[in-house]
Amino acid sequence: MRILLLFLIIIIGIYFIFKKFYYLAKRNLFKDQAAWSGKDLNIKYSKSNEISESKENDNYLKIIAEEAKVYLEDQSRRESE
């Protein structure tokens, strides 16, 4: 009987703790929503210098493939030695 009573008290305590956390989380969520609701967000995008400076004829996949080929050749030489 004591075990059942102790278990019931623990369950009730956990219930009230989670109920309080749920209430606090819900209140904070709605508070943030009220702060942002009705406002138009204007996002200003700046142009990236890296993109505008890149050349159209650059083939990045070819550059990566060449670097990978050199790396693999070095690895095979090390393994053979």
Per-residue pLDDT tens for 7-20?
Answer: 999 999 999 999 99
Instruction: Count up the domains in the chain and report the number.
Output: 1
Range of the domain at 18: 1-37
* Tokens matching residue 45: 């995008």
The pLDDT of residue 81:
74
Q: Tell me whether residue 15 is in a domain.
A: yes
N- to C-terminal Cα separation, the chain: 77
Q: Tell me whether residue 12 is in a domain.
A: yes
Q: How many CB atoms lie within 10 A of CB 61?
A: 8
Q: Tell me whether residue 61 is in a domain.
A: no
Q: Is the pTM of this model over 0.75?
A: no
Q: Tell me whether residue 25 is in a domain.
A: yes
